[in-house]
Amino acid sequence: MIEQVHGGQLSVLRQERFPHVLLVVDTLGKTLGGGERIALKLASLLPHYGYRASILTFSLHPETAALDSPPCPIYLLPLNRTYDLRAMRAALHLRRFLKQQQVRIVQTFFESSDIWAGFVTKALSDAKLIWSRRDMGILRTSKHEAAYRMMAGFPDAVFAVSNLVRQHIIDVDHVDPARVLTIYNGLDISAWQVSSSSRDRSRAVVTTAGNIRRVKGHDIFIKAAASVIQQFPQAQFSIAGDVLEPDYFAELQALVASLNLTMNFHFTGGVSNLPGHLTAADIFVLPSRSEGFSNAIIEAMAAALPVVATDVGGNAEAVQDGVTGFIVPPEDPEALAAAITRLLADPAKAAQMGTAGKARAAEEFTQQVMMTRTTQTYAKLLAGS
């Protein structure tokens, strides 16, 4: 059965004439990732663009941050496997739900949502299907790869978070290019009008933000820091993010100790005031091993920080190398250290890059741009284009 776990903050009655969009995510964990946060942001903004939103998930942590102030009704359809008898029964529940709730568009996030919910949507309802693809398939299994290729003709549209992800969808999943649209993540720029006067000019602060997982490359960042302090011994380094992989976190702590960085390196945990955290820093680093398109990069740009990022996913589409920061190879702590050192050695250039990044974020990566492109596609699909 599908259970409504929260009614949301906005009145559904006021929106009952709006086309209904169902956002499907695999799980809403205690700590939310970028995909879940984007789904919640979409849900909060869609009523302002003439659409009613609901969220459906297959797994819900009782302390998930999604329930702190949910912008729409949230429903739970428990689903452990997508290929057994329970999954068949769940498919009937979903079909009934789509009909009763008059869902016009189903937008899915992540593998189980794309494949299982996507199949049910197209096979058992008249709703339009949109896949939201945020990565290069780093978490896929061989079964996922085969399923995506088999279902290449199912989605009415695919939203790719970067041009590189878009090309991956076309080349690897064989989706018709005409159906694949790049829509970058968008920020509410007004939330980032924070003064940088809180920065301590007596020592440089280099930070990164991202939940602690091996794919985020925090070990590369730590090794780079060890090289940087040879020239800038007062420099401070920090990682802001919740621990999602405890074993990896233990490795990072041991690495900091072994490189004698205890006085220079700090793990701040999750931060509730990210704009304040970023504007207290001087340089932002994203050392990821894989990305689709990083929210953290455009947040750092909005905070007027120069960005040093690895050349993975859509990072080079956000950071203009030599203009708003530097793009370096992944898995290369020395290249990362060299870019950081260049910025620390030339504070005026670093500030100029930060200013250029802020202007770029305000022009290219806003909520308005994201929502306009999203809802224009909705309208075309519902009109039959």
Which pLDDT tens digit goes with each residue over 309-356?
999 989 999 999 999 999 999 999 999 999 999 999 999 999 999 999
Residue with tokens 């993010």: 241
Taking 60 as the threshold, does the pLDDT of residue 196 lie above it? Answer: no
Question: Do residues 155 and 286 share a domain?
Answer: no
Question: Do residues 77 and 158 share a domain?
Answer: yes
Which pLDDT tens digit goes with each residue over 41-68?
999 999 999 999 999 999 999 888 888 8
Question: Do residues 98 and 204 share a domain?
Answer: no
Q: What is the amino acid identity at position 29?
A: G
Beta-bridge mates of residue 57: 25, 76
Taking 80 as the threshold, does the pLDDT of residue 8 lie above it? Answer: no
Question: Do residues 305 and 377 share a domain?
Answer: no
Note down the domain range covering 233: 189-364
The pTM for the full model equals: 0.86
Question: Do residues 194 and 99 share a domain?
Answer: no
Which pLDDT tens digit goes with each residue over 198-215?
555 568 999 999 999 999
Question: Do residues 147 and 199 share a domain?
Answer: no
Question: Do residues 129 and 149 share a domain?
Answer: yes
Question: Do residues 170 and 214 share a domain?
Answer: no
Which percentage of the chain shows pLDDT scores above 70? Answer: 95
Question: Tell me, what CATH number does 173's domain have?
Answer: 3.40.50.2000
Q: What is the amino acid identity at position 172?
A: V
Contacts of 155 (CB under 8 A, 6+ apart): 118, 129, 130, 131, 175, 179
Question: Do residues 222 and 181 share a domain?
Answer: no
Question: Do residues 144 and 291 share a domain?
Answer: no
Number of structural domains found in the chain: 2
Taking 70 as the threshold, does the pLDDT of residue 24 lie above it? Answer: yes
pLDDT of residue 371: 96
Least confident of 137-146, 170-179, 250-259, 349-358: 137-146
Question: Do residues 194 and 182 share a domain?
Answer: no
| C-alpha to C-alpha distance for 224 and 84, rounded to whole angstroms | 48
| C-alpha to C-alpha distance for 78 and 59, rounded to whole angstroms | 6
Question: How does 80-109 read in b/e, with b if 16+ C-beta sit within 10 Å?
Answer: eebeeeeeeebbeebeebbeebebbbbbbb
Mean pLDDT of 152-162: 96
Taking 80 as the threshold, does the pLDDT of residue 97 lie above it? Answer: yes
Taking 80 as the threshold, does the pLDDT of residue 194 lie above it? Answer: no
Taking 90 as the threshold, does the pLDDT of residue 17 lie above it? Answer: no
Structure tokens at 329: 């190879």
| C-alpha to C-alpha distance for 305 and 352, rounded to whole angstroms | 9
Question: Do residues 7 and 141 share a domain?
Answer: yes
Contacts of 299 (CB under 8 A, 6+ apart): 187, 192, 209, 274, 275, 278
Closest CA to 285 of 320, 213, 337, 357: 337
| C-alpha to C-alpha distance for 18 and 61, rounded to whole angstroms | 30
